[in-house]
């Protein structure tokens, strides 16, 4: 659950910041219609993301990298046009009130259209290893996804409330900085796609930029978080120097309530930004911490077979064995005695979905090291889902014989 919460929050973090800041700016700068227009843009991006998620996972019609490249180039153009028409707002008169806000609404739509499809596809990915939507693992992971989405909705709401209280040039500057961070990130992604698709010739400088941005993609999110964190700081400073005139106690109470709410939302924003940084650092490290697999146990090689005696695996726990090839490749397999049975679950220490990341035992259950799927021990030795790859074996004279020829077929899995 924690892993999918982190994955969801990480995928949507930048989109949530862009959307919240844009909505808040729209409400403050264009009070009559701004908020509604940006919300329509965000909704359109969400609907488009749902369609894209379906097309990406149910059809072969979508080349994701090309779609991202086109989306990001269009977003960069829209960002420049937004800056241009904002500067020309007064000369354009009435049109100057609508063109900038319509352009602004496109930016959350585009960033949501990019970020959300992968999140919407997580349940589909989980079902590749789970047999039912009613399984405990599926439900827990789905709850993690929902918690991640809820957190991002809170981020949007908090930034909307905070940004709508920032006035003047400071609001425009903060919005521009957030959009600039997002645009720079998108340009680096476009460079990576162009290099991969050979749309542009290979160039050392461009390659280094693309490589650096790929290896440090979260830096853009941290930069956006840093800009967003300025919003509550500005509001808290302003709350210390309140000098609004009032004519009666009722007006005074109204002013005090307004600034109490401002302080509350400022605290919520700061809390969200701190949690966001923790999600991307410490909590992510905990969620992705690798489990140390139990060591490979000794087994005899007899007449072209790896031989495991019943005494070695009689305790009902997971045991790991291996054959080392002439190329020094360790081909691992696992053996576990099935509960309330004299049968054994035997299979490769790898699966068709997750590769050779292996399995470990936790609280009497066998768990995939990559996707955290819990195996039904009674199904180990059968094909399907995240079960270990089936290998040939025979049982003779109180021992399990695993033919080396059968293991050698999977040497490439462990290289």
Provide the number of structural domains found in the chain. Answer: 2
- Digit-coded pLDDT (tens) for 63-92: 888 888 889 999 999 999 999 988 887 776
* Whether residue 87 is found in the same domain as residue 234: yes
* Whether residue 312 is found in the same domain as residue 270: no
* Whether residue 111 is found in the same domain as residue 166: yes
- Digit-coded pLDDT (tens) for 361-373: 887 888 888 777 7
Q: Helices marked H in 249-383 — which ranges?
A: 249-278, 284-287, 310-313
Using CB atoms within 10 Å of the CB of residue 117, give its burial: 0 to 12 exposed, 13 to 18 middle, 19+ buried.
buried
End-to-end, the C-alpha distance of the chain in Å comes to 31
Is residue 145 situated within a structural domain?
yes
**Is pLDDT above 70 for 249?**
yes
Q: What is the mean pLDDT of the chain?
A: 87
> Which of these three, 237, 262, 287, is where a domain ends?
287
Is residue 387 situated within a structural domain?
yes
Is residue 242 situated within a structural domain?
yes
Is residue 292 situated within a structural domain?
no
Using CB atoms within 10 Å of the CB of residue 91, give its burial: 0 to 12 exposed, 13 to 18 middle, 19+ buried.
exposed
Tell me what the mean pLDDT of segment 26-50 comes to: 91
How confident is the model at residue 131, as a pLDDT?
Answer: 63
How confident is the model at residue 146, as a pLDDT?
Answer: 94
How confident is the model at residue 401, as a pLDDT?
Answer: 94
Residue 369 · residue 399 · CB < 8 Å: no
> Which of these three, 233, 265, 287, is where a domain ends?
287
400 is in which domain, residue-wise?
Answer: 300-414
Residue 367 · residue 373 · CB < 8 Å: yes
Q: H or E stretch including 395?
A: strand 394-396
Residues 6+ apart with CB under 8 A from 211: none
Among 246-260, 273-287, 325-339, 390-404, which is the least confidently predicted range?
246-260
Residue 332 · residue 356 · CB < 8 Å: yes
Is residue 293 situated within a structural domain?
no
- Digit-coded pLDDT (tens) for 157-170: 999 999 999 988 89
* Whether residue 66 is found in the same domain as residue 166: yes
How confident is the model at residue 130, as a pLDDT?
Answer: 63
* Whether residue 239 is found in the same domain as residue 378: no
> Which of these three, 263, 287, 311, is where a domain ends?
287
Give the number of C-alpha atoms closer than 13 A to the C-alpha of residue 251, restricted to the C-beta side: 6
* Whether residue 304 is found in the same domain as residue 211: no
**Is pLDDT above 70 for 171?**
yes
Is residue 38 situated within a structural domain?
yes
* Whether residue 81 is found in the same domain as residue 161: yes
Residue 11 · residue 78 · CB < 8 Å: no
Using CB atoms within 10 Å of the CB of residue 125, give its burial: 0 to 12 exposed, 13 to 18 middle, 19+ buried.
middle
- Digit-coded pLDDT (tens) for 184-237: 999 988 888 888 877 788 778 888 888 888 888 889 999 999 999 999 999 988
* Whether residue 267 is found in the same domain as residue 377: no
* Whether residue 236 is found in the same domain as residue 357: no
How confident is the model at residue 93, as a pLDDT?
Answer: 67
* Whether residue 24 is found in the same domain as residue 96: yes
- Digit-coded pLDDT (tens) for 133-160: 777 778 888 899 999 999 999 999 999 9
Task: Give 96's pLDDT tier (boundaries 50, 70, 90).
Answer: low
More confident of the two residues 31 and 15? 15
CATH number of the domain that residue 358 is part of: 2.102.10.10
Among 2-11, 53-62, 128-137, 313-322, which is the least confidently predicted range?
128-137
Is residue 147 situated within a structural domain?
yes
How confident is the model at residue 215, as a pLDDT?
Answer: 85
Task: Give 46's pLDDT tier (boundaries 50, 70, 90).
Answer: very high
């Amino acid at each position: 659950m924690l892993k999918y919460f982190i994955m969801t929050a990480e995928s949507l973090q930048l989109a949530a910041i862009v959307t919240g800041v844009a909505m808040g700016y729209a409400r403050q700068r264009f009070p009559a219609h701004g908020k509604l227009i940006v919300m329509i843009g965000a909704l359109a991006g969400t609907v488009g993301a749902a369609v894209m998620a379906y097309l990406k996972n149910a059809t072969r019609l979508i080349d994701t990298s090309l779609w991202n490249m086109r989306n990001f180039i269009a977003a960069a153009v829209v960002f420049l046009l937004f800056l241009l028409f904002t500067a020309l707002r007064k000369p354009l008169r009435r049109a100057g009130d609508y063109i900038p806000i319509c352009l602004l609404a496109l930016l959350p739509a585009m960033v949501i259209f990019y970020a959300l499809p992968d999140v919407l596809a997580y349940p589909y990915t989980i079902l590749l290893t789970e047999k039912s939507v009613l399984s405990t693992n599926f439900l827990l992971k789905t709850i993690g996804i929902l918690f991640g989405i809820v957190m991002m909705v809170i981020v949007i709401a908090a930034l909307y409330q905070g940004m709508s209280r920032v006035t003047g040039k400071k609001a425009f500057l903060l919005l521009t900085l957030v959009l600039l961070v997002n645009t720079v990130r998108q340009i680096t992604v476009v460079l990576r796609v162009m290099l991969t698709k050979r749309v542009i010739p290979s160039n050392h400088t461009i390659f280094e930029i693309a490589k650096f941005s790929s290896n440090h993609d979260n830096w853009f999110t941290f930069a956006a978080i840093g800009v967003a964190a300025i919003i509550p700081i500005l509001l808290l400073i302003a709350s210390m120097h309140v000098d609004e005139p009032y004519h009666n106690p009722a007006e005074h109470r109204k002013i005090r309530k307004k600034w109490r709410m401002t302080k509350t939302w400022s605290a919520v924003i700061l809390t969200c930004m701190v949690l966001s940084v923790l999600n991307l650092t410490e909590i992510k490290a905990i969620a992705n911490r690798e489990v140390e697999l139990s060591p490979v146990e000794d087994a005899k090689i007899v007449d072209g077979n790896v031989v495991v005696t019943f005494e070695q695996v009689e305790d009902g726990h997971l045991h790991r064995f291996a054959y080392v090839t002439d190329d020094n490749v360790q081909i691992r397999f696992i053996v576990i005695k099935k509960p309330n049975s004299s049968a054994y679950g035997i299979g490769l220490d790898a699966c068709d979905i997750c590769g050779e990341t292996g399995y470990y035992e936790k609280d009497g259950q066998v768990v995939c090291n990559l996707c955290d799927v819990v195996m039904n021990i009674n199904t180990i030795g059968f094909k399907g889902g995240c079960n270990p790859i089936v290998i040939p074996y025979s049982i003779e004279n109180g021992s399990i014989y695993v033919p080396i020829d059968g293991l050698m077929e999977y040497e490439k899995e462990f290289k």
